[in-house]
Amino acid sequence: HGSLLGIAGLERHEILFLLDESERYVALNREAKKHSDALSGLTIINAFFENSTRTLLSFEIAGKRLGADVVNMHAAQSSVKKGETLIDTAVTLNAMRADAIVIRHGSSGAVQLIDEKVDCPVLNAGDGSHEHPTQALLDALTLRHAMGIASGEALDGVKIAICGDILHSRVARSNMMCLTALGARVRACAPPALMPANVEALGAEPFHDFDAALDGVDAVMMLRVQNERMEGQYLASTAEYRHLYGLTAKRLDACAPEAWIMHPGPMNRGVEIDSDVAEREKSLITKQVEMGVAIRMACLDVLTRKARGLEGWA
Ligand code: CP
């Protein structure tokens, strides 16, 4: 039923198709009346088993701007707290005849499991350390806009460093696959304990020295150290982490003064990124949020086209 479970498995032309479809929503979202009736009569359920600000709100706004009926299920206030299993929850949502289900879950693979139990498209809003595909798409769209690359074009030759807790980051995994599919040259920088063994298989060049990773890049994407996914792998103090892997003004000016600055949020200011850097003119952090709404509108639109009797995927 045409779900979006990850960037893995998407071809370059499919990624470009979603980016190009998003452009009309970037334009719509800048108008006074930000509304279309494209998904009128459809029901979208956002089922979030983990906390979220950006992804949940932007999926809700995206569905509403497309005219759909949108309902949010917060696991903390649901019968999950009474011991209901993930599969029983999925079967329950399916019985309500949702037309699309958006899921965030703390376990890698949970979204795939739900996809196998329901009849409508499922969109992965982040599953464990596995994938966060709409984040990678919005990051690519943000870079394309910032760098003045035209619609229809990819990111061939763009140099980007992704730095932080690569091991636990679904954002990094999806981005490494998405950016390399679009022709970018990706450097992955992390402390040895937070670098996955398969980073080269994901298309990235590994670095442990942040200054070397930053040298001459067009963009740098910082990641949060995800204490909630740690099992004692990394015990550095905040001060030590910032010294080695924090994006400070001094480091940025020495290594890549013209680089675009990105962060998926939420930021730990003063840890992986300093406040003065996050607020520079070259910072794309709020632009990423803006592009997130457009990307999610495009994904909801494209994935429900078949159900609406339209031609769907590229
Ligand atoms: N970037 C991101 O996924 O943010 P939230 O956790 O706030 O959704």
Q: Where are the domains of the chain?
A: 12-130+292-303, 133-288
With a cut of 80, say whether residue 182 has pLDDT above it.
Answer: yes
Q: Is the CB of 289 under 6 A from ligand 1?
A: no
Q: How far is the CA of 247 from the centre of ligand 1 (A)?
A: 20
pLDDT band for position 229 (cuts 50, 70, 90): low
* pLDDT for res 44: 98
* pLDDT for 232 beyond 70: no
Does pLDDT of 274 surpass 60?
A: yes
Ramachandran angles phi, psi of 131, nearest 5°: -145, 155
Superfamily name with CATH number, domain 12-130+292-303: Aspartate/ornithine carbamoyltransferase (3.40.50.1370)
Integer Cα distance of 301 and 188 in angstroms: 32
CB 89 within 8 A of CB 111: no
| Closest C-alpha among 193, 142, 202, 144 to residue 172 | 202
Fold of the domain built from segment(s) 133-288: Rossmann fold (3.40.50)
Atom of ligand 1 nearest to the CA of 104: 8
185: helix, strand or coil: strand
Residue 190 and residue 208 in contact, taking contact as beta carbons nearer than 8 Å? yes
Residues that constitute the known binding site:
54-55, 82, 104, 132, 135, 170, 224, 265-266
The 10s digit of each residue's pLDDT in 78-132 is 787 788 888 999 999 999 999 999 999 999 999 999 999 999 999 999 999 999 9
Residue 169 has pLDDT above 80, yes or no: yes
> Which residues are paired to 204 by β-bridges?
186
User: Does any ligand 1 atom lie closer than 6 A to the CB of residue 292?
Assistant: no
Q: Where are the beta strands (DSSP E) in 49-131?
A: 69-74, 100-105, 122-127
How do beta strands 159-163 and 219-222 pair? parallel
Domain pair 12-130+292-303 / 133-288, same fold: yes
Mean pLDDT of the chain: 94
Say yes or no to pLDDT of 314 above 60: no
Which atom from ligand 1 is nearest to the alpha carbon of 55?
8
Amino acid at 300: L
Global confidence as pTM: 0.96
Do residues 108 and 5 touch, judged by C-beta distance below 8 A?
A: no
